[in-house]
A = this chain, B = another copy of it.
């Protein structure tokens, strides 16, 4: 079976928003109403990269600095993150996840993964194998984040 890029694109454009909607709706309701997807992604990144600057986060997420700043505002207002001084370069902030933020991130991760895993239990082992392979291909194509302002990280 030969698949043209156009066919694959069509599938992607139809299915990916569906999955996204489902994940969002799960995160919003029920088990883990604490985080939106951007908040979740920011927390996860900062948990892996403690003390990153605002631009690093913006960079990683493909957002503009003001958008990222607002996102941080929200997380900080709800006690999941702090801004700390960076003595080495006082223009930069060090963004650090709080214990509370980590706990919420953990709970949300667990809840969402359990939800998805439950659904993926229905596609069979073959289906999951294909899905994982596809995600690896897609990562190679979509992982190169948009670079805003700073090209170097």
Residues of A within 8 A of B (CB): 1-23, 25, 37, 41, 61-62, 112-114, 116-123, 125, 127-143, 146
Q: Which of A17, A41, A117 is the most central at the interface, judged by chain B CB atoms within 10 Å of its CB? A: A17
Question: In the complex, how many angstroms separate the beta carbon of A108 from the nearest chain B beta carbon?
Answer: 10
User: Which of chain B's residues have a CB closer than 8 A to the CB of A16?
Assistant: 16, 19-20, 23
Return 17 A-B CB contacts under 8 Å, by A number.
A2-B125, A5-B118, A5-B128, A6-B117, A8-B116, A8-B128, A9-B116, A13-B116, A17-B23, A17-B41, A18-B138, A18-B142, A19-B138, A21-B61, A25-B146, A120-B141, A133-B134
Cβ A120 vs Cβ B37 within 8 A: no
Q: How many chain copies?
A: 2
Cβ A3 vs Cβ B125 within 8 A: yes
Q: Which 6 pairs between the two chains have the least Cβ-Cβ distance?
A: A134-B134, A9-B116, A5-B117, A3-B128, A11-B135, A127-B137
Q: Is chain A's interface secondary structure helix, strand, loop, or mixed overall?
A: helix
User: Contacts A12-B135, A120-B141 known; A129 to B6 CB distance under 8 Å?
Assistant: no
Report how far A120 CA is from B140 CA in the complex, Å. 10
Kindly report which residue of chain B lies nearest to residue A63, judged by CB atoms. Answer: B21
Kindly report which residue of chain B lies nearest to residue A116, judged by CB atoms. Answer: B9
